[in-house]
Structure 1
Amino acid sequence: MSTSLLTAVGSLLLLIPIVPLLTYVIGLLLPASHIVSRKRTLKGINQADLWQVLVDVEKHPEWRPRVNKIQLNHESCTDDRIVFQEHNTRNRTIVVIHVHQVPYSRLLRILQEIPTFSGSWTFELEPVISDTATAPNTDVDQKKENKEEQEEEHQDQVDLKITQQGVIKKPLLRVIYMLVLGLERRIDIFLDDLERKIQNQQQHDNHQIHISTTTIDQMTPTNIGVMDYSIMSTSNLPKDDKEGDVKEGETTTASDTKELEREETLPPMESLTPSILDESKDISASSASLLSKDKNNSSGWDMVSEIYERTK
């Protein structure tokens, strides 16, 4: 019993130095250089905005949790090249160079993490193109509508492909990255952080749109300038309006008020008694007789003048 226990302990003691040695040997057998790539469709962002997010390196710590600080080397920066140092949460510094090979389409990221990793990332941005094709017998208008719908559907979708070409010099790290963690691990972390940043930005934009839409709805013309006449005090109204026939609690418009005032200035038909009608008839008859007398007087005056002239 004791012999078997001693044998097991001795075997473990022999394996402890053998495991690192064996790992080192496997690392030597693995190639130091590698090429891996990842491609992901990012929704909710267009190609120009995605490019701006990638090249605006000073804001990378805002959406990359593993990056503490970005320090630009202004002396080495040009219009198509940005040189900076990336300080991560593991207290390591990575020297990075961004080269704008094709604006809004292709970006080269050269990085060197001493002594772990050195290599480059190539970012390729392509707009999403729909694979669905229209039927050959459809009308021209229908084809145009389908094309417009497809463009509208994919206008905020971009395919981002990252190709990593790297060299891992240490054999032990080569085994860890190639056989345990995976060579695509850094790319996957970067894409996850980028996708999370786009989703948060999209939620923020939708919230702002909702707030602005609610504000506009509250300021529509139907809600502006509406006056509640039912709460108006009768003490502020003219005396004639108080004595009108408007019932308490009813509202009147400006046209109704003018109509009531005009009706009050005219006497009602029932108030015209027969005596008043007779007086109006007498006045009309007297005016007619006066007109006839004026005509007779004017004609008589003309005849006297003519006789007087003839006697001369």
Structure 2
Amino acid sequence: MRSLLRKGHGMLWTLVGLVLVFLGLIGIVILLGVVIPRSHTATSRIVVPAAQQDVWNTLIDFEHHPEWRKMLEKIEQAQPIDGKPVWIEYSKFGRMPMQVDEMTEPSLLRMRIADDKLPFGGTWTFELSTAPDDAQRSTLQITEDGVISNPIYRVMSRFAMGYHAVMDQYLKDMATKYGATTPKPEHVSK
């Protein structure tokens, strides 16, 4: 009987030890997240095999983005804010309201996440120009000026996904829409 109690007692201490290790790891992740800056800037660009005006038209046709953006399931139009377009993007990651902040055809689009309650936010600035070597190709650059309030999200964004992951997928999807077979975005900044 005593040997059974000792075995149970040993298993209890093993379980307590595992729980403490798990809590310690969570604490380290949170501490690391507190040290990582809340704000970041990252820039990626790609050459799209299409004329600037064609890429611009695709860029601002938000309603049809799910037809070519792999991560996007659907778009829902929302009420404009201050006369600027607002829509909600739905993906496997959830729901994200977006708003146009600035638009200068056919070269500049700045949009932002229109929900201050999310654990992250910020803007994407799209800069579009004709490729220097060919008027039938365009250079599309995205700059993300992001803010991540949740320390755990900061760790995930910095080390698991990277700040470039979502915009790189966007750029690949845009280039693929116009026939690129192996598009590879260039990271202009960290």
Superposition TM-score, scaled by structure 1 size: 0.50
- CA distance in 2 between counterparts of 1:75 and 1:170 reads 28
Cα distance, 1:22 vs. partner? 0.8
- CA distance in 2 between counterparts of 1:40 and 1:120 reads 19
Q: Which runs of 5+ in 1 are unaligned?
A: 1-5, 131-153, 201-312
Structure showing greater Rg: 1
Report whether the alignment pairs 1:53 with 2:58: yes
Cα distance, 1:84 vs. partner? 1.2
- Correspondence for 1:96: 98
Q: How does 1:189-200 map to 2 (within 5 A)?
A: 189-199=169-179
- Correspondence for 1:67: 72
Q: Which runs of 5+ in 2 are unaligned?
A: 1-9, 181-190
**Structure 1 vs Structure 2: percent identity of aligned residues?**
26
- Correspondence for 1:163: 143
- Correspondence for 2:85: 82
Cα distance, 1:77 vs. partner? 7.7
Count of residue correspondences: 170
Instruction: Give the direction of change, closer, same or farther, for the CA distance of 1:13–1:87 in structure 2 (3 Å limit).
Output: closer
The answer to whether the 8 A contact 2:47-2:175 is kept is: no
Higher relative contact order (CA 8 A, sep 6+): 2
Q: Given the alignment, which residue of 20, 30, 39 partners 2:36?
A: 30
- Correspondence for 2:110: 108
Deviations 1:7-49 (A, max 9, x none): x946544311100011101100110110010011112x10001
Q: How does 1:182-193 map to 2 (within 5 A)?
A: 182-193=162-173
One-letter amino acid of the counterpart of residue 34, structure 2: L
One-letter amino acid of the counterpart of residue 103, structure 1: E
Instruction: Give the direction of change, closer, same or farther, for the CA distance of 1:35–1:181 in structure 2 (3 Å limit).
Output: same
Superposition TM-score, scaled by structure 2 size: 0.80
- Correspondence for 2:188: none
The answer to whether the 8 A contact 2:99-2:114 is kept is: no
Deviations 1:194-251 (A, max 9, x none): 1221118xxxxxxxxxxxxxxxxxxxxxxxxxxxxxxxxxxxxxxxxxxxxxxxxxxx
Instruction: Give the direction of change, closer, same or farther, for the CA distance of 1:116–1:192 in structure 2 (3 Å limit).
Output: farther
Deviations 1:44-75 (A, max 9, x none): x1000100000000101111132222122355
- Correspondence for 1:120: 123
Question: Where do 4+ consecutive residues of structure 1 move more than 6 Å?
Answer: none
